[in-house]
Structure 1
Amino acid sequence: MRIGLITPDPGHPVLAATAALLAGDGHTVEVSDPRAGAAAAPAGAPADVYLLKARTASALELARELERRGAPVLNSAAATARCQDRTGMAGSARRAGLPFAATRTFEAAARLESAPGLPWPMVVKSRHSRKADLVARVDDPAGLRELASAWADEPVVVQAFAPNNGWDHKVWVVGDRVFAGLRRSELAPADGAPERCGVRLPDAWADLALRVGAAFDLDVYGVDFVDTGAAGPLIVDVNAFPGIRDQPGAPEALAALALDRAARAARLPAARGRRQSGVGRP
């Protein structure tokens, strides 16, 4: 089979390991640099499946073009884009009955200073998720003035700070495989505590992570939980196709998922043909 990687960085550890596994089994791995947008699509037939490890506008343009030509893309362009808007993310999660942090949206951080009913302390984030975006805890009006001055025109969301033990539960899902680790929260005081990999999640938390995939139509994704104690886990972020670094078994799971989706896509035209001709009907 032909497996395509949509990424500007094919040397990323999880992609490189996945590509090596696929190539070792006789499959062809093709890399499409998304910086050219739809122009990076192959002139001939697309690959049997694509892994979308990029979130830029040009990457989404390329993914949409490949989908238009009938190629399955994991994750889809629509699902990837959905995870970049934290306002839409919160709405989708709460409509699905997921325990997601209550979220308010503001057109610009400068408007926070005059907003009524702000929770203290609170977490302020850029509305649009990207590298080097805003994620900060704000404890008082003085801190808010400082933040609003530095990020005046930035569209933001506000969430009440949920008391927790200072650790983020980082959960990565590949198909139906769940991997987990603990990372010191970026909102907690830095203490040099190392990240912990291979953490065992409670079954209910793992089930909750899988529900996120169904709600957002994601195949490869990350979920950030905080443990609020008696109130249980609270989802604070969802990411399409995160790094999944240092998770034993993740490349194998990703390779298996790609091959499974490619095989399923190859069977679909034949199945449609049988239904249209009446073959196979009782």
Structure 2
Amino acid sequence: MTHKLDGDCTGGGCLTANGAVMLLAGKRPRPGTIIDELTARVTAAGRSVYLELPHRAQNLGKERWIEGAVIVHRGLSRAILEQLREEEAKGWRMCNRAAASLLALDRPELMARLRADGVPVPHSQVLADWSSCQAASEGRNVVVKAADGSVGRGERIVFGGGSGLPIDQPFEGPYLVEERVTHDGMDRKLYVAGDTCFGLLKPWPRTQEPDVRFDPPTDLREIAFDVGLATGLEIFGVDVVMSPGGPVVVDVNVFPGFRGIEGAGEAVARHVMRLAGRPDPGC
């Protein structure tokens, strides 16, 4: 049975439902999305799923939380994630863990953590102002990203060639300036859900060519799982490009949409159900 609770509902303290799944989403899930499929698979296994939309009031609606439930969240603001981290410290089981999600939003800290754990990432530096970025880019191919990764995926990113960056500041700093990796023109997107790894090949820069599913080879799987070990993420995506020296991780995103990935819903549901204390979600 699925119980949908949102910010308009009222309650008098935590409900109790061991093995239940509590979904905290940035917006109401649309049909056909990964959260919609997760809900269908978990409820088909006889477990209750509860939905909260904490963005509406910028609070967790904690009085309606389900005691003993696994808290699965996607698309939440930094402020909400900070609140989740506090609850996580009190013993609530989050997926992904709130601390790991916050780490992924801090691009400089994320890259530093990956580098320290031996994951191949581009050389980078953090600069406070745009003029410093312009000076650092002279004669180099660079990618400049907002240090704050909480903005929309793919936004606040500028590519600079050897002639330098745009004169006008495109967005507020601080900035993460990375070496632009020379690669074979393909973005190898790796999608991880628990112990399962999927692959999708995308031309980069984008073309009209379709994306292609692929089975990630051992070295790419190891990189993907190493990212999970380094960050604490459980459901996430990794962008890898193939440089002359081997694979390089250029981006990590939390709980992606898994579009075009057959079997992703089953893998996500299986992982969530394991956390909820039931290994087989009837997939």
Q: TM-score range by the shorter chain?
A: 0.7 to 0.9
Alignment of 1:115-264 (within 5 A): 115=136, 120-129=140-149, 130-131=151-152, 133-141=155-163, 143-144=164-165, 146=166, 148-151=167-170, 153-185=172-204, 188=205, 190-197=206-213, 199-229=214-244, 231-263=245-277
Alpha carbons of structure 1 residues 161 and 41: separation in structure 2 relative to 1, 3 Å: same
CA drift of 1:195 comes to: 1.5
1:183 is paired with a residue whose SS is strand
State the TM-score, normalized to the length of structure 1: 0.83
* Number of residue-to-residue matches in the alignment: 255
Does structure 1 conserve the Cα–Cα contact (< 8 Å) formed by 2:60 and 2:80? no
Supply the AA of the counterpart residue of 1:138: G
Identity percentage over the alignment? Answer: 26
Within 5 Å, give how 1:35-50 maps onto structure 2: 35=55, 36-43=57-64, 45-46=66-67, 48-50=69-71
Shift of 1:245: 1.5
1:6 to 10, 14, 24: 24
Matched residue SS, 1:97: coil
Letter in 2 for 1:33: L
Cα separation, partners in 2 of 1:234 and 1:71, compared to 1, 3 Å: same
Deviation track 1:65-123 (CA, whole Å, cap 9, x = no partner) reads 542452200111110010011100110001101111111111122322334x7561111
- Is the CA contact 1:52–1:75 (under 8 Å) kept in the aligned structure 2? yes
Partner of 1:274: none
Structure 2 runs not aligned, ≥5 long: 1-18, 279-283
**What secondary structure does 1:263 align onto?**
coil
Whether the aligned pair in 2 keeps the contact of 1:34 and 1:62 (CA below 8 Å) is no
Q: 1:48 to 1:86 in 2, by over 3 A?
A: same
Contact preservation (8 Å) 2:146, 2:172: no
User: Can you list the C-alpha shifts for 1:156-185, whole angstroms capped at 9, x where unaligned?
Assistant: 111111111221100010001001101122
Task: Determine the structure 1 residue equivalent to 2:73.
Answer: 52
- Which residues of structure 1 form unaligned runs of 5+? 265-282
SS in 1 for 2:277: helix
Separation in 2 of the partners of 1:46 and 1:58? 23
Match of 1:227, SS?
strand
Shift of 1:203: 0.8
| More displaced 10-residue stretch of structure 1: 73-82 or 46-55 | 46-55
d(CA) in 2 for partners of 1:58, 1:113: 32
**Alignment RMSD (CA, Å):** 2.1
- Are 2:70 and 2:92, in contact at CA under 8 Å, matched by a contact in 1? yes
Is the counterpart of residue 32 in structure 1 residue 52 in structure 2? yes
Contact 2:190 2:237 in 1 (8 A): yes
CA contact (8 A) 1:4 1:47 kept: no
Distance change >3 Å, CA 150–CA 181, structure 1 → 2: same
Render the CA deviation track for 1:220-276: whole Å, top value 9, x for unaligned: 1111100114x1100111111111122111111111111111228xxxxxxxxxxxx
Q: Distance in 2 between matches of 1:93 and 1:119?
A: 27
| Equivalent position amino acid for 1:238 in 2 | V
Q: What is the alpha-carbon distance in structure 1 between the residues aligned to residue 271 and residue 155 of structure 2?
A: 31
Paired residue secondary structure (1:133)? coil
Tell me how far apart the structure 2 counterparts of residues 193 and 154 of structure 1 sit (CA, whole Å): 34
Q: Which has the higher helix share?
A: 1
d(CA) in 2 for partners of 1:257 and 1:97? 26
SS of the residue aligned with 1:99?
Answer: coil
2:9 is matched with none
Q: Which structure has the larger Rg?
A: 1
Question: Contact 1:6–1:59 (CA<8 Å) still a contact in 2?
Answer: no
Separation of aligned partners in 2, 1:233 and 1:102: 14
Q: Which has the higher strand share?
A: 2
Q: Please give the TM-score of this superposition, normalised by the length of structure 2.
A: 0.83
